[in-house]
């Protein structure tokens, strides 16, 4: 496997966050921004897939030890920030500084926010975005158990089956259930995450689920063009448009994003890679976990009752405030916990994977060279 660091993936992560941010700024204008979450999912699947597929080759290390190390490192990456934010919500709500929706805290704490939103229809305002963190956490509980044990043939069957089952479920929701929050359910996003894992497998094998590296690029191009067409179509609501958006768009976006990540990782798309690798974009991508978690909470403080040019100004200030808070969080809260990962190291893993994952919200093994300087 090629050993390299791809700063472009950090830049891509920043633009995925920015898309979500703009969606929350004005849903009517930036409708497509909501799918920045799916780009995050594919990135996560790709990076975590790389780590787990490398871990599976360490057969000299007992499976239980590999799982324990993985979960500890994962917890050190995501829990400090996540539960700190829940503490802020609890204190702010108790002191009546804002509506903390305290009744939802047990669901947040147990990573069940997404199921709560789907089955109750409750409004959580500034806490709604936590649904996506629940999806990823559920996936990371399951993914190691599959990737560290299943052979590639079985893994291909799982991926193909997931795409088919989820497509049928999305269709059923469109026609029968018509629940607008159906996509919050974890299994309904697993096909997106598995697309990223498929890209990771293609770094090691000539083909996977009938795709080679070359066909992935071609399929990704066609899917990308289809996504662009559907995005334009979204501004002219109709029944076919809703079907395309609900059923076709998510898997098409997943495959297009997977092809993009695969190309960037392997040194392709030089112009785009140069733009995404610009130092400010790379840094913002590194702190994108904090950007995502904090931004919607800050949004409600800055922009809730503003309109017109005042809202544009407040949205701009909100973005600056979010970057500031996320930077402080990275330096003062997250980094100290990341240093504890030195006590729970993996065995030998490709250094290119290590560095990219260490700068993301994916738990990355430490090498002798510090890697925690960078979502």
**pLDDT for position 305:** 60
User: Is there a domain that residue 1 lies in?
Assistant: no
Give me 91's structure tokens.
């204190």
- More confident call, 216 vs 364: 216
**Rounded distance between C-alpha atoms, residue 253 and residue 301, angstroms:** 32
Q: Is the pTM of this model over 0.85?
A: yes
Cβ 227 vs Cβ 178: under 8 Å: no
Q: Which residue has the higher pLDDT, 209 or 156?
A: 156
- At residue 182, the pLDDT reads 95
Mean pLDDT of 105-126: 94
In this model, does residue 366 exceed pLDDT 70?
Answer: no
Q: What is the pLDDT of residues 48-58, one digit of tens each?
A: 999 999 898 88
Q: What is the extent of the structural domain holding 341?
A: 7-358
Q: Which helix (H) or strand (E) holds 212?
A: strand 211-212
* Maximum distance among all Cα pairs of the chain, rounded to whole angstroms: 62
Overall domain count for the chain? 1
Of 275, 156, 259, 271, nearest to 214 (Cα)?
A: 259
Average pLDDT, the chain: 87
- Provide CB contacts within 8 A for 326, sequence distance 6+: 287, 288, 290, 291, 294
From CA 305, how far away is CA 69, in angstroms rounded? Answer: 46
Q: What residues form DSSP beta bridges with 207?
A: 212
Position 365 in a domain: no
Q: Is residue 193 part of a domain?
A: yes
What is the per-residue pLDDT for 362? Answer: 44
Helix 36-55 and helix 7-25, axial crossing angle in degrees, nearest 10: 150
Report yes or no on 375 lying in a domain. no
Asked whether residue 216 is domain-assigned, the answer is: yes
- Compute the Cα dihedral for 253, 255, 257, 259 and give only its sign: negative
Domain assignment present for residue 247? The answer is: yes
Residue 201 has pLDDT above 60, yes or no: yes
**Which carries the bigger pLDDT value, residue 361 or residue 162?**
162
Residue 211's beta-bridge partner residues? Answer: 208
229 domain-assigned? yes
Residue at 77 is within a domain: yes
- Is 81 within 8 Å of 334 (Cβ atoms)? yes
- Three-state DSSP state, 207: strand
For the CA atoms of 346, 143, 116, 94, the dihedral, rounded to the nearest 10 degrees, stands at 0
Least Cα distance to 273 among 4, 34, 2, 1 occurs for 4
Distance between CA 257 and CA 159 in Å, rounded?
Answer: 16
């Amino acid at each position: 496997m090629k050993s390299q660091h791809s700063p472009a993936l950090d830049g891509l992560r920043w633009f995925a966050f920015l898309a979500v941010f703009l969606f929350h700024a004005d849903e009517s204008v930036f409708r497509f921004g909501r799918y920045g979450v799916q780009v995050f999912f594919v990135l996560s699947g790709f990076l975590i897939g790389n780590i787990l597929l490398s871990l599976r080759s360490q057969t000299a290390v007992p499976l239980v030890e590999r799982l324990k190390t993985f979960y500890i490192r994962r917890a050190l990456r995501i829990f400090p920030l996540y539960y700190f934010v829940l503490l802020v919500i609890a204190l702010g709500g108790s002191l009546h500084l804002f509506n903390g929706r305290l009744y939802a805290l047990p669901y947040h704490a147990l990573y069940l926010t997404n199921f709560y939103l789907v089955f109750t229809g409750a409004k959580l305002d500034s806490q709604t975005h936590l649904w996506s963190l629940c999806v990823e956490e559920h996936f990371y509980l399951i993914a190691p158990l599959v990737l560290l044990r299943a052979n590639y043939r079985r893994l291909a069957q799982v991926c193909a089956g997931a795409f088919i089952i989820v497509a049928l479920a999305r269709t059923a929701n469109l026609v029968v259930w018509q629940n607008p929050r159906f996509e919050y359910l974890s299994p309904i996003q697993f096909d997106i995450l598995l697309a990223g894992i498929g890209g990771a497998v293609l770094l090691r094998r000539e083909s996977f689920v009938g795709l080679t590296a070359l066909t992935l690029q071609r399929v990704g191009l066609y899917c990308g063009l289809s996504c662009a067409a559907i995005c334009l179509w979204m501004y002219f609501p109709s029944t076919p448009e809703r079907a395309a958006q609900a059923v076709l768009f998510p898997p098409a976006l997943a495959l297009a994003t997977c092809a993009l990540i695969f190309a960037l990782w392997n040194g392709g798309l030089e112009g785009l890679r140069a733009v995404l690798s610009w130092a400010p974009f790379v840094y913002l991508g590194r702190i994108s976990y904090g950007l995502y978690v904090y931004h919607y909470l800050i949004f409600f403080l800055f922009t809730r009752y503003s309109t017109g040019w005042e809202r544009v100004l407040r949205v701009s200030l909100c973005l600056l405030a979010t970057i500031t808070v996320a930077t402080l969080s990275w330096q003062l809260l997250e980094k100290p916990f990341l240093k504890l990962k030195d006590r729970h190291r993996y065995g030998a893993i490709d250094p290119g994977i290590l560095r990219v994952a260490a700068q993301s919200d994916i738990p990355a093994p430490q090498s002798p060279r510090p890697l925690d300087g960078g979502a």
